[in-house]
Amino acid sequence: MDDGTGAERTKATVLQRVSSVLNADAHDATALDGGEVGSVYRVSFHDRPDVAVKVDDSPLGTEAAMLQYLDRDTPLPVPEVLHVEPELLVLSFIRGDGRFDERAERDLARHVAALHDTSADAFGFPFDTLSGPFSQSNPWTDSWIDFFRAQRLLPFATAARNEGALPAGEFDRVQRLAETLDARLVEPATPSLLHGDIHPGNAVVADGTVRAVLDPALYFGHAEVDLAYVDRLDSIGAAFYDEYRQHRDISAGYFEERRDVYVAFHALENVRFFGEDELPRLERALDRLGM
């Protein structure tokens, strides 16, 4: 029976490590909802502001590098990286109230639109990034459709099949979808910087304002990828799109023709991570696409 001693030992280790790397007296660690990758704590001190600490068995340097990129090169608010080493990431703690109302929905849309205005000369990223625990290969590519097919849709499908999460029949359907992308997708006028995992759970909100955005999965791609991720959520709706359209256009045909391609990809990511319980969403998207 779990008596909680394991959790207490983990907290004690976190306090010791953070006290050492920040040269400060950490006296309390409170577990936070850190999503599905790693464990996250709010650590308090006697003589300095609280910090957020993520611990994980896998190296956290890529997450730190993505946050530093956003902080340095974009207007998106993110926590400051205070320290990073293998398996330990220390960030400034951003306080929120957890109320994601219409004001926050509109503010998130403004931030996403501004992020999408950040562009590059090609699709990809200066380094390979992560989507959850999974590596994303980001070689610079001139064609968005080629990039999406070769670096996102097919690699994730192949990995999910090889890991036993994606049945052979669904893998074949995704392959057929990949073969039709030239007729389904469009090339954007310019690449947009994508957050890659945008949703209310990754936004720290207080008084209707987005104070910070967390857990990026960065690369330059088509803005519609982020929009499709947002669109799957009941907590985000018309207000988000109304505000987004005041800052950036959504091209004709997105909702009717292209959205389900990106919905299928997001569902595929979840199948790989969560397993067969996520298959129905992927199958429904493939059904709508006639696959």
CATH 3.10.310.30 for the 102-288 domain, yes or no: no
pLDDT of residue 133: 87
Phi-psi region of 25 (alpha: psi -120 to 50; beta: other; left: phi over 0): beta
Q: What is the pLDDT of residues 98-135, one digit of tens each?
A: 899 999 999 999 999 999 999 999 999 999 999 988 99
* Domain 5-92: which CATH number of 3.60.140.10, 3.30.200.20, 1.10.540.10, 3.40.50.2300: 3.30.200.20
Q: Where is pLDDT greater, at 1 or 67?
A: 67
**How would you classify the pairing of strands 203-206 and 209-213?**
antiparallel
- Percentage of residues of the chain with pLDDT beyond 70: 97
Label residue 34 by pLDDT band (50, 70, 90): low
Residue 155 has pLDDT above 80, yes or no: yes
Average model confidence (pLDDT) across the chain: 93
Looking up tokens 């974009």 gives 74
Q: At what angle do helices 259-274 and 279-288 cross, to 10 degrees?
A: 160
Residue 2 has pLDDT above 60, yes or no: no
Chain centroid to Cα 285, Å, comes to 20
Q: Where is pLDDT greater, at 38 or 118?
A: 118
Kindly state the average pLDDT of the residues 222-235: 87
Whether the CB-CB separation of 203 and 108 falls below 8 Å is answered with: yes
Q: What is the CA radius of gyration of the chain?
A: 20
> In this structure, how many other beta carbons lie within 10 angstroms of the beta carbon of residue 133?
13
Q: CA nearest 166: which of 268, 291, 280?
A: 268
> Where do runs of H (alpha helix) occur along 45-199?
61-73, 102-116, 144-147, 154-162, 168-179, 181-184
Burial of 30 (0-12, 13-18, 19+ CB in 10 A): exposed
Q: CA nearest 220: which of 102, 93, 82, 74?
A: 74
How distant, in Å, are the alpha carbons of 17, 115, 129, 132, 192 from that of 104?
35, 16, 27, 24, 22
Kindly state the average pLDDT of the residues 56-62: 85
Residue 1 has pLDDT above 60, yes or no: no
* Token duo for residue 57: 């068995």
pLDDT of residue 232: 73
Residue 152 has pLDDT above 90, yes or no: yes
pLDDT of residue 7: 72
**How would you classify the pairing of strands 129-131 and 26-32?**
unpaired
How distant, in Å, are the alpha carbons of 88, 92, 162, 241, 272 from that of 61?
9, 16, 27, 33, 23
Residue 150 has pLDDT above 80, yes or no: yes
Domain boundaries, the chain: 5-92, 102-288
- pTM for this prediction: 0.93
